[in-house]
Every structure is written in structure tokens, then in C-alpha cells.
Amino acid sequence: MPISMYHASVPVYTRQLGGLAGCLRKAQAHYAERRYDESALLGYRLYPDMFHFTRQVQASTDHARNGAARLAGLEPPKYEDDEKSLAELIGRVEKTITFLNTITPEQVDGSEEKTITLKIRDRELSFKGLSFLLNQSMPNFYFHVTTAYNIMRHNGVEIGKRDFLGAS
């Protein structure tokens, strides 16, 4: 039986975001227990030309929310990028999961050949739905989730692969 576009996208995004939310909660507890300043983590980058931690989490939610919405033929909800605490980042992830849970299989299935057009700065890129999901949306989503995880891990948050993967 072939996998559906819905099952290849929305449940994958929600599970991984659940893992990210769990990691963020562990980071919040870690910083609170040690009385560390959260802003040190929020602004941390693995390398000077990379996004800081907060932007990695924001980008993760953006790729999940925008990717699923585009496949479903919906206008993605807009989020302000104004989170200034781990609690606010957790809220953003949870808000994204809530949105994803409103998308049904009927909205996404059959979108393999649907044209998806992205406006990136001063240019437009067009993809077919399956190519968009597999070559644009998912790789970018995983890149930012993984980078956020790596920043937390590098900064001493006790998380592991099970945390990253989220609940089964």
C-alpha cells in the first residue's frame, strides 16, 4: 500500500515538533534549576553565519506550518517572530501542532502533482507537491529541528535521541 501525502507530512511534522517541545521543556528546566540566563541559549549559534537558537526553532515551526498548509491548499497562518523565552518558544511549537491537527488527510492527499510556488526574496520557485515535500519542506524542517537540538545539547541540556524523536 502506498504512503499518502498526508501521512508523509502532517503526522511527521507533529511528532517531530512534539519531540522539539519536549526538548525545550527540558532546556527550560535545566536553565531554571541552574539559574542560568535563558538569553544565552536563545542567542546561541553553532557558527557565526548560522541562525541563532530562537530562529532555528522559529524556522522549524515555519517549515512545518507552511509546508502542510501549502499541500492542503490553505493560506498558512502568520506568526510573529518575537519569542524572547523558552516558554514562548514552547508556546509557538504547541500552537503549530494545534494548527497541524486541523489539517485532514482529505486536504493533503492527492497533492503530489499540485504546483507549489514559493516566493523567496526576489524570486519564485515552483515545485510539484511531492518534490516540494521531499526536497524542500522536509529537509529544511529537519535541518532546523536538528540544529536546535544540537544547540541545546551543546549547551548542556540532557537530551538524547529519544527526546529528539518524540513520542511514538
2: in domain: no
**Residue 126: CATH number of its domain:** 1.20.120.450
125: in domain: yes
14: in domain: yes
- Residue 168: its pLDDT value, please? 54
Please tell me which residue, 165 or 146, carries the higher pLDDT value.
146
pLDDT for residue 109 is more than 60: yes
- Residue-averaged pLDDT of the chain: 96
Q: How far apart are CA 153 and CA 65, in angstroms?
A: 25
Q: Model pTM?
A: 0.95
- Residue 124: its pLDDT value, please? 92
Q: How many domains does the chain have?
A: 1
**Nearest one of 12, 49, 17, 5 to 145, comparing CA atoms:** 17
1: in domain: no
User: Widest CA span of the chain, in angstroms?
Assistant: 52
84: in domain: yes
